[in-house]
Structure 1
Amino acid sequence: MARFDRYLLSQLMVLFGFFALVLVLVFWINGAVRIFDRLIGDGQSAMLFLEFSALTLPNVIRTILPIASFAAAVYVTNRLSSESELVVMQATGFSPWRLARPVLVFGLLVGLMMSVMTHLLVPVSLAQLKQREQAVAENVTAQLLVEGTFTHPSSGVTFYIRQIDTDGTLNDVFLSDRSNPLKPQTFTADKAYLVNGADEEAGEPPDPKLVMIDGLSQSYQVETQHLFTTHFNDFAYDLSAMLGSGSPPGPDVRAMPSWMLMAQPGEVERISGQSAGRIADELHGRFQQALMCAVSALIGFSTLLVGGFSRFGVWRQVVAAVLLLVLLKIVESVIVDPVRDDARLWPLIYLPIVLGLGISMAQLAWSGRARRVAPPGGETGAEVTPT
């Protein structure tokens, strides 16, 4: 590469790394706060919170890569323009197409990073995250076995344990079930045990039950306003509906590898329960996201190049570049539903890429157009065509 290409590419990569780091931290911390509130509030450990946060990181990086490439291209182009470096390079014979070459190389490098994320890291992390979420959902101990704290494992249900012995005995148990507002129930027991009523060797899904010993059941009839109480020696309360246990849902298309989406679309449709359009949108969307990184960088560079040098800055071009990127994202969101309804419309997924490349090429051509320079004291001008 020429010295100028290496110089511009190095500037773009440095600024891209800075913007990517800042944006990843902002997005990741925002998501980590919600994960922390959900997991720690349910009595999970800090290590599980760190694991969940790490598994969400690839998807966060995938989201911010096009934004970071666009921001780096705009910032570097603005700085080169304000310091007249672009003017000097154009005066030496560099055309806008020649100036855009390192920007294109930069966009392709970022697109390569995006391809690694979309085709490899993101599906693997989403698959692992779903497995861990399913394991946590089936972990009755993590949801219920909290000493001295009123927990709410589901809507309308309150559970309390005074003390848990080392052998798993629950002492002084309180359970309030208000899921049926017409017939709320309350159970208290001196001791209780958590047991699994399913046959694990037969591969049955977990069927957790709470067996209470020496307790009292209170059932209130709202219509008649009568309270019925029953003393029992032992009573089994089914926790399956309350904890949402049962057979796990089908695999998520987003967590499947790209080779499987390409080679076995019919099998993916069968095991996931998703339509052919949804599968096509996911597969081609992974390629489209990589190309969008290059298009975003070219949009930012070409839009600022149109304005040329100005002592008042290029803030209008920056606003125009942002609006053009927003326009591409709007087009991208509009074509999602038609493709998901009809898989044969998958070429529409690449419409934002074609539109973005067309806009960039038009702006580069406009930047290299022939300009008329009026001579001193003359009314007509001579054409000067930059090379």
Structure 2
Amino acid sequence: MNRLDRYILKTAAGAAIVLLLGLTGVIWVTQALREVDLITGKGQTVLIFLTVTLLSLPALVAGIAPVALFMSTLYTLNKLNGDSELIVMNAAGIAPHRVTRPFLVLTVATAVVVAWMTVSVMPASFRMLRDLITLIRADFVTNVVKEGQFVSLDSGVTFHYREKVGDSLVGIFMQDRRDPTQPSIYLAERGRTVEAEGQSFLMLEKGTIQREAKNTNTTSIISFERYALNLSALTGDPTGGAGEGDGDKVVYKPRERSTWELINQNPNEAYYKIQEGRFRAELHNRLSAPLYPFAFMLIAFAAIGEARTTRQGRALAIQAAIMIVGATRIAAYAAWTASVRSPVAAAMLYILPLLAIILAVALIYYGERLRPVLARMTAPLTLPLVNLAARFRRA
């Protein structure tokens, strides 16, 4: 890597880091504010609050890094053109595609970070968050919920106990309406929280469970002497609870499982049979994520990688690149959503970035021949916008 490459790489990398830290910080603060209830309403410490909010950072970094790379590429190329450095490079005989080398180095580094986050760090952070929320729920039930009050623990879950005697709760009532097709009501004379194998359970004694099946209009009542309610059931996932007093382990969602577990998934698992589409969508979303930094960088370079003057519509090229990247990201999200129902849609998670890469590379190498053709094809769409902008300038 020569001095020119190091100069461009230093400029682009600095901009990418600043953008990544700035965007991640802003979004993290907005998400952290939503968790203030951990301190004000659930009696948790500042350390727990910071831990919960920081566990969301890997997902933020993985999503923001390709966008930061795209924006830093636009910034660097625009700066080089504004300082006439691209024009000097062009006059010195440096081909436009030769300038992509430092950007490719930065893109590879970004893709490695994204792959590491999506394949390894994100699943581990989501799993830790799930376990921590379970412990928070257990602490919330025993230490924060006041006797005689009906408190909503989560969407559709209501908890109440009459009084507290020692470490036991007396007169327990819990309504679980998270699954609208099968609401449940738990009644118990007493109960207490226990920990086993690193998980928290609410041990209910001498009570009943009333389940109503809306589809069949039938109601079943189960009496029990002892029943172990896995407190992960209070995290909002109706499939995460324990069975009939058997102390089942937590059923982790697809995003909380390691990539290796998704690849070697047991097809006979009951939860997998219900959520097979989500397992497929999560796996392909992780594996395709490292392709998007390459696509976004090349789109930016194809738009303004050549030396141009302002009169040649450089601003319009930047706007077009932003629209293309936005459309690609939205289409990828739609493909990820559709892949839950259709295996064919999962292929679009790979096709979209690969198609963007191929078209961008073709423009970089054969831009002189392709741009006039694209200009004629997009003229019916861009001409009204150009006329509107001219009217505003005259006004």
TM-score (norm 1): 0.70
Residue 65 of structure 1 corresponds to which residue in structure 2? 65
- Give the CA RMSD over aligned residues: 4.2
- C-alpha distance 299-177 of structure 1, shift in aligned 2 (>3 A): closer
The answer to whether the Cα contact below 8 Å between 1:157 and 1:178 also exists between their aligned partners in 2 is yes
Structure 1 segment 8-19 matched on structure 2, within 5 A: 8-19=8-19
Amino acid in structure 1 at the alignment position of 2:192? N
- C-alpha distance 319-197 of structure 1, shift in aligned 2 (>3 A): closer
Deviation at 1:345, TM superposition (A): 5.2
Structure 1 segment 98-177 matched on structure 2, within 5 A: 98-139=98-139, 140-145=141-146, 152-154=151-153
Structure 2 distance, partners of 1:288, 1:129, is 24
- C-alpha distance 91-200 of structure 1, shift in aligned 2 (>3 A): closer
- C-alpha distance 250-273 of structure 1, shift in aligned 2 (>3 A): farther
Structure 1 segment 355-366 matched on structure 2, within 5 A: 355-366=355-366
Structure 1 segment 1-387 matched on structure 2, within 5 A: 1-139=1-139, 140-145=141-146, 152-154=151-153, 195-196=191-192, 205-207=201-203, 246-247=241-242, 250-262=251-263, 264-267=264-267, 270-273=270-273, 275-305=275-305, 308-310=308-310, 314-343=314-343, 346-369=346-369
Structure 1 distance, partners of 2:309, 2:35, is 47
Q: Which moved further from structure 2: 50-59 or 332-341?
A: 332-341
Structure 1 distance, partners of 2:231, 2:123, is 30
Instruction: List alignment gaps of at least 5 residues for structure 1.
Output: 181-192, 211-237, 372-387
The answer to whether the Cα contact below 8 Å between 2:172 and 2:190 also exists between their aligned partners in 1 is no
Q: Secondary structure at the match of 1:206?
A: strand
Deviation at 1:207, TM superposition (A): 3.2
Percent identical:
24
The answer to whether the Cα contact below 8 Å between 2:168 and 2:191 also exists between their aligned partners in 1 is no
Amino acid in structure 2 at the alignment position of 1:250? V
Deviation at 1:323, TM superposition (A): 0.3
Deviation at 1:113, TM superposition (A): 0.7
Deviation at 1:301, TM superposition (A): 1.9
Q: Secondary structure at the match of 2:43?
A: coil
Structure 1 distance, partners of 2:355, 2:254, is 28
Q: Secondary structure at the match of 2:202?
A: coil
The structure number with the bigger radius of gyration is 1
Structure 2 distance, partners of 1:241, 1:116, is 32
Structure 2 distance, partners of 1:46, 1:296, is 38
Q: Secondary structure at the match of 1:266?
A: coil
Structure 2 distance, partners of 1:54, 1:199, is 25
Q: Which moved further from structure 2: 68-77 or 355-364?
A: 355-364
Deviation at 1:303, TM superposition (A): 0.7
Structure 1 distance, partners of 2:173, 2:345, is 53
Structure 2 distance, partners of 1:68, 1:125, is 22
Deviations 1:51-110 (A, max 9, x none): 101211111111211111111111111111111111111111111211122222221110
Aligned residues: 325
Structure 2 distance, partners of 1:324, 1:67, is 12
Q: Secondary structure at the match of 1:358?
A: helix
- C-alpha distance 268-35 of structure 1, shift in aligned 2 (>3 A): farther
- C-alpha distance 279-144 of structure 1, shift in aligned 2 (>3 A): same
Q: Which moved further from structure 2: 322-331 or 137-146?
A: 137-146
TM-score (norm 2): 0.69
- C-alpha distance 250-41 of structure 1, shift in aligned 2 (>3 A): same
Deviation at 1:138, TM superposition (A): 2.8
The answer to whether the Cα contact below 8 Å between 2:158 and 2:175 also exists between their aligned partners in 1 is yes
- C-alpha distance 142-49 of structure 1, shift in aligned 2 (>3 A): farther
Residue 235 of structure 1 corresponds to which residue in structure 2? none
Structure 2 distance, partners of 1:340, 1:178, is 30
Structure 2 distance, partners of 1:206, 1:177, is 11
The answer to whether the Cα contact below 8 Å between 2:284 and 2:346 also exists between their aligned partners in 1 is yes
The answer to whether the Cα contact below 8 Å between 1:304 and 1:314 also exists between their aligned partners in 2 is yes
Deviation at 1:290, TM superposition (A): 1.1
Q: Secondary structure at the match of 1:94?
A: coil
Instruction: List alignment gaps of at least 5 residues for structure 2.
Output: 178-188, 207-226, 235-240, 243-248, 372-395
